[in-house]
């Protein structure tokens, strides 16, 4: 009789315990799934953000390289113009020296009329 009474009283407790255990397992599974979804969303967002900033950095570097190339072209053009000007001045100086050497060497004191004309050019 005690065994019958015990089994009659224990059966609802066992069922309630199993139901609580099942509810706890389902809750734990829901939390694990939610945590996994949050982790995936976080990883996806981080990858998108990294890709965005990588593209921004690449764009900025491309603009910088383009600007450097333009400045280099400008520098080379200015350098060539300066070289051409220096070569022109050197050619004029060489011509002046040649013209000066071609003038007669007289015993006149000071500058002669031909040398003054040469300097006036």
- The pLDDT tens digits for 52-110 are 999 999 999 999 999 999 999 999 999 999 999 999 999 999 998 888 888 777 766 66
94/101 Cα distance (integer angstroms):
10
| Residue 117 in this model has a pLDDT that exceeds 80 | no
- Angle, helices 113-120 vs 2-102, to 10°: value is 160
> If pLDDT is split at 50, 70 and 90, which confidence band does 115 have?
confident
Say if residue 114 is exposed, middle or buried (CB neighbours under 10 Å; 0-12, 13-18, 19+).
middle
Contact 114, 103 (CB under 8 A): yes
- Residue whose token pair is 């400008």: 74
Say what the pTM is. 0.52
17/9 Cα distance (integer angstroms):
13
């Amino acid at each position: 009789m005690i065994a019958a009474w015990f089994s009659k009283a224990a059966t609802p407790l066992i069922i309630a315990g199993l139901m609580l255990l099942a509810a706890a397992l389902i809750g734990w599974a829901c939390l694990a799934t939610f945590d996994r979804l949050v982790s995936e969303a976080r990883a996806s967002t981080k990858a998108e953000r990294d890709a965005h900033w990588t593209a921004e950095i690449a764009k900025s570097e491309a603009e910088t390289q383009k600007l450097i190339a333009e400045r280099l072209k400008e520098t080379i053009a200015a350098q060539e113009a300066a070289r051409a000007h220096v070569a022109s001045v050197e050619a004029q100086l060489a011509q002046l020296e040649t013209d000066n050497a071609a003038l007669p060497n007289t015993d006149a004191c000071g500058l002669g009329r031909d040398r003054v004309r040469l300097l006036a050019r």
